[in-house]
Structure 1
Amino acid sequence: MNQNLDIQCQKTIQNYIDDTSIWEKESNCFCLSMTKVQWRIWLLATFGKFFEGMIVFMMGLTLPLITLQFHLTEFQKGTLSSSILFGILIGASALGGLSDLYGRKKMFIIEMALLSVCLVGMACSQSYLTILLFNFGIGLALGCDYPTAHLMISESIPTKNRGKLVLGAFAFQSVGVLLGILTGIIVLTYADDINAWRLMYILALVPSLAITVARFFIPESAHWLMSKKREEEAEKSLKRLLNRDPQSDMTLTVVPCPEGEENHSWLGGYKKLFKQKYRAKTILASAPWFIQDLGTYGIGIFTPVILASVLDPHVVVAGDALHSTIASIVYSAKGTALIDSLLIIGVICAIIYSESIGRMKLQIYGFIGCAVGLALAALSIKLNNDYQIYLLFLGFMLFNFMNNLGPNAQTYLISGEVFPVKIRAKGAGFAASIAKLGAILTAFLFPILMHEIGVFNLLLCLVATSLFGAWVTYKYRFETSGKNIENI
């Protein structure tokens, strides 16, 4: 009888996280059934996406000034704008994958420390090569954050909140985009100098240092500790996470590994992604994300450039090159801020509907909506009247809304859900790396293709890729909404 009672009292880590009844009865606050430590982990994880949005998309504002100061060629502009994305590609797998080996928390701290160092380097750079180096370093840090931040959240919160809070953290990318654009507008309005771009990076440094320190004071993922057979540490971490008495008894049940996956090397974890058992999930996690990033980063980074090329006759500027460049950047940045406001609205809708409608449907509908928005933007290029501006803005705003409702948000969420804990960071990191390959292609080729084939033809190409993304999602669809992360 006692033995049966002991078995009934045993729970897995996720069972304990999902069962909040013990402390919830003692609290009168709603709080999504989460402790202060869980909320702290979530808040600290949001800043990785915030910095990505702020810094990556700020490149569209800083690049013209850097080009003017260092006399960059078109090739150098392409390599500079794509270097941060190449860093994300490497960082997501090479550094992010290390959180399967060394722990989520350790890499969570290292990535933010690396970001801070590279922001200092960017602000102090005196040559094209040093800017290229530190921009790549920023990408490494942001790439590492893709799997680690996702897993710090998803392995620490109740199943019912996972979709909402992972997407809530992802929403801060859009907040970062808008704040980066507003920062650029303010700096360029009051700092009438060719070195104004340096101040933008300094302003990003202050919060990155604070977040680096704060990440030391959170517990390690109990899921990861248990996967390393460190049961006592996992129990201590779980008690701290759930605000339970350190002396209380929390008997943990080990979730058995699938047959043949108990032990594998670091490289072996990546090989498993392509085994028959996980191949379809790897394609689902990476291929649509690659397709989505073709449009997201191409349109996101170069929206100011596209607006400037279309709206240039409306801009009144001073005669010299510096003031002309600054006036053009500020003018197009204001239009970009209006367009990018739809990113936040889109991701809010994704948070609301990701559980009720499902990840797969939102991703498919989102891709189709992106295609419609890009088609409207392409059509505006052929107009020569006042409707051109309205149709261009409508197309880009629809693209941003549907992108964040669907593929931009859902691909990030899905990548951290479909793989087991032992290879979860590697799977999410690999998917992010493949995605950033698409981002690199657009960041490098967009300026060249805009010159060679024109904005109209370029937008039509993105219409085709968006429709292809909808088809790939439908073919390999695998719904994770509402499922226990230990059982997926």
Structure 2
Amino acid sequence: MDRLPMTSKHRRIARVVAAGTFFDAFDSLVLGIALTVIARSLGQGFLGTGVLISAGYLGQFIGALVLGSVSDRLGRRRTFLVAITVFSLLSVACALAWNLEALTVARFLQGIGLGAEVPIAATLISEYAPSLKRGRAVMLYQAIFAWGVFAAPLVGLIVFAVVDPATGWRVLFALGVLPVLLVLLGRRALPESVRWLTAKGRTVEADRIIGEFEDTARREGKDLPEPRPAEADVARPTRLAEIFAPAYRTRTILNGTLWFTVYFVSYGYSVWLPSLYVTIGGLQVSQALYLTLVVGASQLVVVYAFAFAVDRIGRRPLFVAGFGLGILGAVLGVVMVLSGATSWPTLFAAGLLLAVGSYVPAAGLYLYIPELYPTRIRAWGTAAGSSMNRIASVIAPTVVGALLAGGFGLASVFVMFGIVLLIGLGAMTAWGIETKGRSLEETGDLIG
């Protein structure tokens, strides 16, 4: 796989997987877009709304852990298609919900598919991409998630402009059934991971798929180097506890620490910043939303910049630089707030640095984490780590609210973000290894 040139077959696989991730992002954000309308339609209060939101995150947490482990046992392709089927069909169940309780249950079950799809998809892309181009391939795929996040509010504006709001939120959820078509396409266009097949001792199937890639390369006139002897993963059974074995324990601690610290800051500021623009910065709601769009656009730029730099500069330097930039934003926020500057430019400047800085490692996690484990536990290790961002998504907004409500002031929020980012930076500096240009079989061994 590492010697193969990029071909139309690689791009076809990437399109199928990326389309699934696009709809994963879209379906994840639909609830936030429709929440106000749902409140009027189903009549839930603050408690019901909180339970509804938490149910989705709980489902994602469970889905990442359960289907992530299943992927290492039964295969990437099959589990990926199951995850898409689950969140697509449950979108219809959300659209047909007759009361808040039904919607909450449907959203929880939908979350199982949503939480599993992205880590499995990232693992699949990583295992098919040649080692010298793996960083760019995975990051360009990851950018699709950001486009899905952008698409959700835009589609919401269109739907609510042409459909009555009481019906519009149901239409938004119903659109989430479209990825079912990907399952039909994926059954033909998406092969199983060659690395996974080899790790399971199914070398005949792996060789057949490699032959298909080679035939495609020849038809397209691509140079096809002779195979080089390489040591593949030994066929060994998947044992979930292996990620905590001495050989991988430090990597697993790094894995969970990176996911938690990055997304703690990301969720903490993204949920509260628009409100702070209004309540502290004195802006109108529409002006606050425009600034939020600027931050979102900057994050999209970060993904593409990361994609084109990561295979040249390396994973570790970019992660360290991102954490450093985020810490600079936190320090700037503390200094400006303590000096009495609490206008919206202060919040915007500090928030932008926090956003861009934290999004650098956030963008690279689905590239870097699969590189830390051997094939037999790669999807499980990635999914287990990514589940920590679900925990961060629940804790961070609550802690920010508690600090502000407790009279500790905005400076305390920036101090907290700075400390969390310092923990992430320390973990990456102490335990992070460089994986640039190395095969997955090599990075999964004990190196660095």
TM-superposition CA deviations, 1:17-55 (whole Å, max 9, x none)? 2334xxxxxxxxxxxx31212111112222344234333
Change (3 A) 1:99 1:55: same
Alignment RMSD (CA, Å):
3.1
Residue in 1 that maps onto 2:379 = 425
Partner Cα separation in structure 2 for residue 119 and residue 380 of structure 1: 45
Paired AA for residue 292 in structure 2: T
Residue in 2 that maps onto 1:180 = 152
Partner Cα separation in structure 2 for residue 331 and residue 192 of structure 1: 26
Residue in 2 that maps onto 1:278 = 248
Partner Cα separation in structure 2 for residue 62 and residue 309 of structure 1: 23
TM-superposition CA deviations, 1:396-421 (whole Å, max 9, x none)? 333332233x2102222111111011
Change (3 A) 1:157 1:338: same
Contact 1:163-1:413 within 8 A present in 2 as well = yes
**Distance apart, 1:296 and its partner CA:** 1.9
TM-superposition CA deviations, 1:277-299 (whole Å, max 9, x none)? 11111122221111111122233
Contact 1:79-1:444 within 8 A present in 2 as well = no
Residue in 2 that maps onto 1:80 = 52
**Distance apart, 1:478 and its partner CA:** 0.9
**Distance apart, 1:244 and its partner CA:** 5.1
Partner Cα separation in structure 1 for residue 85 and residue 379 of structure 2: 20
**Distance apart, 1:144 and its partner CA:** 1.3
Partner Cα separation in structure 2 for residue 107 and residue 148 of structure 1: 8
Count of residues in correspondence between the two structures? 435
Which sits farther off after the overlay, 471-480 or 211-220? Answer: 211-220
Contact 1:416-1:424 within 8 A present in 2 as well = yes
Partner Cα separation in structure 1 for residue 199 and residue 375 of structure 2: 7
Q: Find 1:478's aligned residue among 433, 436, 446.
A: 433
**Distance apart, 1:104 and its partner CA:** 0.8
Change (3 A) 1:466 1:263: same
SS at match of 1:427: helix
Q: Percent identity?
A: 24
Please report the TM-score for the alignment, with normalisation by the length of structure 1.
Answer: 0.80
Q: Find 1:411's aligned residue among 365, 369, 380.
A: 365
Q: Find 1:216's aligned residue among 163, 187, 190.
A: 187
Residue in 2 that maps onto 1:358 = 314
Q: Find 1:139's aligned residue among 87, 102, 111.
A: 111
Residue in 1 that maps onto 2:221 = none
Paired AA for residue 18 in structure 1: D
Change (3 A) 1:378 1:116: farther
Change (3 A) 1:256 1:60: closer
Contact 1:380-1:392 within 8 A present in 2 as well = no
Partner Cα separation in structure 2 for residue 300 and residue 446 of structure 1: 11
- How do 1:186-335 residues align onto structure 2 when only pairs under 5 Å count? 186-191=158-163, 193-206=165-178, 208-217=179-188, 218-243=190-215, 255=231, 257=233, 263-264=236-237, 266=238, 269-310=239-280, 315=284, 332-335=288-291
Partner Cα separation in structure 2 for residue 358 and residue 383 of structure 1: 38
Residue in 2 that maps onto 1:8 = none
TM-superposition CA deviations, 1:190-222 (whole Å, max 9, x none)? 55634433333233433x233222211221111
Which sits farther off after the overlay, 219-228 or 82-91? Answer: 82-91
Paired AA for residue 398 in structure 1: L
Structure 2 residue runs without a partner (length 5+)? 219-225, 444-448
Partner Cα separation in structure 2 for residue 353 and residue 236 of structure 1: 34
Contact 2:259-2:365 within 8 A present in 1 as well = yes
Residue in 1 that maps onto 2:2 = 18
TM-superposition CA deviations, 1:241-300 (whole Å, max 9, x none)? 343599xxx999783556xxx544x5xx22111111111111222211111111222333
Residue in 1 that maps onto 2:22 = 50
Partner Cα separation in structure 2 for residue 53 and residue 306 of structure 1: 25
Change (3 A) 1:389 1:314: closer
- How do 1:104-143 residues align onto structure 2 when only pairs under 5 Å count? 104-143=76-115
Partner Cα separation in structure 1 for residue 41 and residue 127 of structure 2: 46
The answer to whether structure 1 residue 41 and structure 2 residue 25 are counterparts is no
Partner Cα separation in structure 1 for residue 164 and residue 45 of structure 2: 24
SS at match of 1:479: coil
Paired AA for residue 436 in structure 1: R
Partner Cα separation in structure 1 for residue 26 and residue 277 of structure 2: 19
**Distance apart, 1:189 and its partner CA:** 4.7
The answer to whether structure 1 residue 435 and structure 2 residue 389 are counterparts is yes
- How do 1:455-474 residues align onto structure 2 when only pairs under 5 Å count? 456=410, 457-474=412-429
Which sits farther off after the overlay, 208-217 or 475-484? Answer: 208-217
SS at match of 2:313: coil
Structure 1 residue runs without a partner (length 5+)? 1-16, 21-32, 316-327
Q: Find 2:70's aligned residue among 86, 98, 117.
A: 98
Instruction: From the CA coordinates, give the structure whose radius of gyration is larger.
Output: 1
Change (3 A) 1:185 1:448: farther
Change (3 A) 1:414 1:71: same
Contact 1:88-1:142 within 8 A present in 2 as well = yes
Change (3 A) 1:252 1:160: closer
SS at match of 1:354: helix
